[in-house]
């Protein structure tokens, strides 16, 4: 079956530090890949996506590149802010039409301090 593995958290960084959150996946086909962010007390927001190998998703200064050879989709940001403190989820969806579903990683909590 499909699975997503994320690095354990929490990740604690100072403001303006560089962020990397590792994500690797196992899938039988060619999935679409996503990063979602969950701020405290809120639902999940789609942060970025990539639908095929070598695609780079980007949004709000965050980036992730779909690496088929290493089955990875690591999230990066050059300079984090306190407002980026949240839980980040890596997810995949097999492209199986109407029966597609998201398989999530366990989430990585990011805490950014001044």
Partner 1 sequence: DTAVSQTPKYLVTQMGNDKSIKCEQNLGHDTMYWYKQDSKKFLKIMFSYNNKELIINETVPNRFSPKSPDKAHLNLHINSLELGDSAVYFCASRPGQGSYEQYFGPGTRLTVT
User: Which residues of the chain form contacts with partner 1 (CB under 8 A)?
Assistant: 32, 34, 36, 38, 42-46, 49, 51, 87, 89, 93, 95, 97-102, 104, 106-107
Strand pairing of 11-14 and 108-113?
Answer: parallel
Q: Report the b/e string of 85-108 with b at 16+ CB within 10 A.
A: bbbbbbbbbbeeeeeeebbbbebb
Nearer Cβ to partner 1, position 18 or 30?
A: 30
Q: How far is the CB of 46 from partner 1 (least distance, A)?
A: 5
Q: How far is the CB of 16 from partner 1 (least distance, A)?
A: 27
d(CA 76, CA 97): 30
Q: How far is the CB of 111 from partner 1 (least distance, A)?
A: 14
């Amino acid at each position: 079956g499909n699975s997503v593995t994320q690095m354990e958290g929490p990740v604690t960084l100072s403001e303006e530090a560089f962020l990397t959150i590792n994500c690797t996946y196992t899938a039988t086909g060619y999935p679409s890949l996503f990063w979602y962010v969950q701020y405290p007390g809120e639902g999940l927001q789609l942060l970025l996506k990539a639908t095929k190998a070598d695609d780079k998703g980007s949004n709000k200064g965050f980036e992730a590149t779909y690496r088929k050879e290493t089955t990875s989709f690591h999230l990066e940001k050059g300079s984090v802010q306190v407002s980026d403190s949240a839980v980040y989820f890596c997810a995949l969806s097999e492209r199986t039409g109407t029966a597609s579903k998201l398989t999530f990683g366990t989430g990585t909590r990011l805490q950014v301090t001044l």
